[in-house]
Structure 1
Amino acid sequence: MMAITLALLALGFSAIPLTIYLANYRQYFAPPALADTNTAAKLSVLIPARNEASGIEACLASVLASENIELEVIVLDDHSEDNTAEIVEKIAAEHHSLRLIGSPPLPKGWNGKQHACWQLSQQASHPWLVFLDADVRLHPSALARLVAYAQTNKTDLLSAFPRQETGTLLEKMLIPLMHVILLSFLNLRSMRSTTAPSLAAGCGQLFLANQASYQRAGTHAAIRQSRHDGLKLPRAFRQQGLKTDVLDGNGLATCRMYRNAGEVIKGLLKNADEGIANARLILPCSLLLFGANTLPWIAVGFACYSANWYTGIIATIAIAWGWLPRCCNTLRFQQSWLGCVLHPVGILLFIILQWIAFFTSLTGKRIAWRGRTES
């Protein structure tokens, strides 16, 4: 009796995210290629940079190679302890569209990135703003395609999820979960048809915002204490009745967020309490993730122990249903097959990290990131 109960529970749990995922799969698309046009959009690309010497040159090279747009690029050196500023100044000497600005000390009550983005926005002169992380590399057509989509669909804030490059084992297991969570938990059709704040979603690595709408939403000052701009900035827009959207950026940009296991763990812990790891979501999300991806394996174990073959079949179907979104994502987004094979282990580790973040937040402690523990 226990074996069949576990198998049916696992099947039910795995069916929920799979159903949402299948509904989202075709909704999550890349912006179409540009039609012929004689009018170039005007964009301000705004890049906060703190200790980005290893990658800022490649980032700027990709931005400056953008096609079919009128561009200004502003980099804010946020008190870097390396030679980030010197690299940017050298490139700016050869490109009149690029300039570097500095930052005053971080004010109390501000997160470093949000303060940097807010300052950058004050310097922007174009009607469209692109907030870009320094570890992102753009395709030459990316910005023009994004702004064309935003104009056509009257979108106030548009986010694209770049293709995530991974190197270490933890990266391969955990980073691709951003697409699993996005496409298995959020109803994209409902997100696009309403401006409900509860349906806010985005990727803080790459945002395109209409300047006027950005001001109406309260700018980054509205989320000044947050570390989770990917969630909080779209929510600020939606609270003002503004339209936000997310797109597949796999062919538009690439990004490698972390370089080792320590960075992966700290990166997932630093803002988890603003996402899943809060009192409202931690339990239901953990149950759903565990039930869809780990419980089926427990059910198989019970089926083998009891030699109940039809229970084993049900549990095996639940395993396949839980794994299918990760397998489809691995093909579509060029993700690691090793990470895909280890998906159940990655899910279990992800759940553990969410609970660590939850209990850490209860103590009032903050995970240091880029040398800062400020909110």
Structure 2
Amino acid sequence: MDLEFTWAWIALALAMFPATMGVVNLFLVRPPRGTPREGALVSILIPARNEGANIAGCLDAALASRDVAVEVVVMDDGSTDATARIVRDYAARDARVRLESAPALPPGWTGKVHACARLADAARGTHFLFIDADVRLAPEAAACMAGHAARTGTAMVTGVPKQVIGSLGEALTVPMINFLLFCYLPGGGRAFTRRPGMAAACGQLLLVEREGYFASGGHEGVRGVLHDGLALARRMRDHGLATEIVEGHGLATCRMYTNFRDSWAGFIKNAREGMATPVGLPIWTVMLAGAHLWPFFFLPRSAAVLALALGFALRAAVTLRVREPWWTIPLHPLTVLVALSIQWVALARALMGKPAGWKGRAYGTA
């Protein structure tokens, strides 16, 4: 048995792992179901820093919510554009809208996390639905998520919105969110996977019950992180509370970035609190590169061909399930390569002590 033959079969084995998990998770992760409890009020909470181009569309969608009472609270986090003025105009026309101003950022906090903590303090609802300003809620989203929480007894319900992808740069970065969720997270983040290490969440679309949020310490307990959704889910599980990922493409849409430069910067920001650790990243590199990149070096071995076929089939299944553009599927190997490059650059920057930054703020190594 030659060495190349052995490596081809190892690559196939590495490809079988996400394929098996992906099939299971595509079955497990379902849309939310349930009816909100009587008297439920969903506080739609939006941290906003220089979101003048996004905030009106976000408010229009939030105010179109139906089947549950809502309030919409925007935390203006030191914006220097028209964000506050736009929100004030909405508040003058609709009593459900309120504008709050974030206090100065205290030491040890990251900006979005601090804004979310202050939003929770200001909210009046039985449920807090945290969304980003670039998210557009579906009319039934708030009711469906609050209903799912009531039906299942989960303290957190979260999902990945349908990702709007309009450029090559986005196509090479954004699809890895759903691919990793479905293919490399045991149980897909469902509530029965109670271990904090198996928690997952998307900060773009995250509903928590008020009591569970404050009982776990909320954003106060994760004040120094940049990947707030994941950190909050793990903290809530640490406090014995159930968290659950649901199918999110029917609940909201989001265009995170519009070009490769912004996508790269945005994903590097979160990488330090995900894969980009000295112990974890080499393992992730073997798992991802071994399954989706190495087989190219062993073509035309049958094991390599089968490994690549599994990878592309899996990517196609996830892409079609979450309603992302079909034309991103052939880019899958490049997407994996870019994802690993982002993680290694983020780790190198962390080891050199370079601060992470976002929205004009710099933060120390997490």
Q: TM > 0.5 between the two?
A: yes
The whole-number CA distance in structure 2 between the counterparts of 1:208 and 1:367 is 27
Paired residue for 2:59? 60
Paired residue for 2:144? 145
Which one is further off, 4-13 or 50-59? Answer: 4-13
Structure 1 residue corresponding to 2:315, chosen from 322, 326, 342: 326
Displacement after TM superposition at 1:196 (Å): 1.2
SS in structure 2 of the partner of residue 45 of structure 1: strand
Paired residue for 1:374? 363
Change (3 A) 1:191 1:281: farther
TM-score by length of 1: 0.94
Change (3 A) 1:189 1:353: closer
Paired residue for 1:10? 11
The whole-number CA distance in structure 1 between the counterparts of 2:37 and 2:18 is 44
Structure 2 residue corresponding to 1:347, chosen from 336, 340, 344: 336
Displacement after TM superposition at 1:334 (Å): 2.0
Displacement after TM superposition at 1:38 (Å): 9.3
Map 1:1-375 → 2, pairs under 5 A: 1-32=2-33, 39=38, 41-188=40-187, 191-300=190-299, 303=300, 312-375=301-364
CA radius of gyration, larger in: 1
Displacement after TM superposition at 1:190 (Å): 7.7
Deviations 1:317-352 (A, max 9, x none): 110112222111221222123321011011111111
Aligned partner of 1:19: which letter? T
Aligned partner of 1:296: which letter? P
SS in structure 2 of the partner of residue 120 of structure 1: helix
Query: Any conservation in 1 of the 2:356–2:363 contact (CA below 8 Å)?
Result: no
SS in structure 2 of the partner of residue 347 of structure 1: helix
Q: Number of matched residues?
A: 363
Aligned partner of 1:158: which letter? V
Displacement after TM superposition at 1:71 (Å): 1.2
Change (3 A) 1:190 1:78: closer
SS in structure 1 of the partner of residue 231 of structure 2: helix
Give unmatched runs, 5+ long, in structure 1: 304-311
TM-score by length of 2: 0.96
SS in structure 2 of the partner of residue 93 of structure 1: helix
Deviations 1:16-36 (A, max 9, x none): 11111111111111113x66x
Deviations 1:103-138 (A, max 9, x none): 121111000000000001111112111111111001
Displacement after TM superposition at 1:313 (Å): 2.0
The whole-number CA distance in structure 2 between the counterparts of 1:57 and 1:174 is 27
Query: Any conservation in 1 of the 2:54–2:133 contact (CA below 8 Å)?
Result: yes
Aligned partner of 2:333: which letter? P
Query: Any conservation in 2 of the 1:44–1:128 contact (CA below 8 Å)?
Result: yes
Query: Any conservation in 2 of the 1:41–1:144 contact (CA below 8 Å)?
Result: no
Give unmatched runs, 5+ long, in structure 2: none
Aligned partner of 2:312: which letter? W
SS in structure 2 of the partner of residue 30 of structure 1: coil
The whole-number CA distance in structure 2 between the counterparts of 1:39 and 1:187 is 34
CA RMSD in angstroms, aligned pairs only: 1.5
Query: Any conservation in 2 of the 1:266–1:367 contact (CA below 8 Å)?
Result: no
Displacement after TM superposition at 1:69 (Å): 1.0
The whole-number CA distance in structure 1 between the counterparts of 2:302 and 2:58 is 49
Paired residue for 1:306? none
Deviations 1:67-118 (A, max 9, x none): 0111111101000111000000011111001010111211110000000000
Query: Any conservation in 1 of the 2:21–2:182 contact (CA below 8 Å)?
Result: yes
Query: Any conservation in 2 of the 1:40–1:68 contact (CA below 8 Å)?
Result: no
SS in structure 2 of the partner of residue 365 of structure 1: coil
Query: Any conservation in 2 of the 1:8–1:315 contact (CA below 8 Å)?
Result: yes
Aligned partner of 1:354: which letter? Q
Deviations 1:156-190 (A, max 9, x none): 01111100001110211210111111111111278
Runs of at least 4 residues of structure 1 off by over 3 A? 37-40
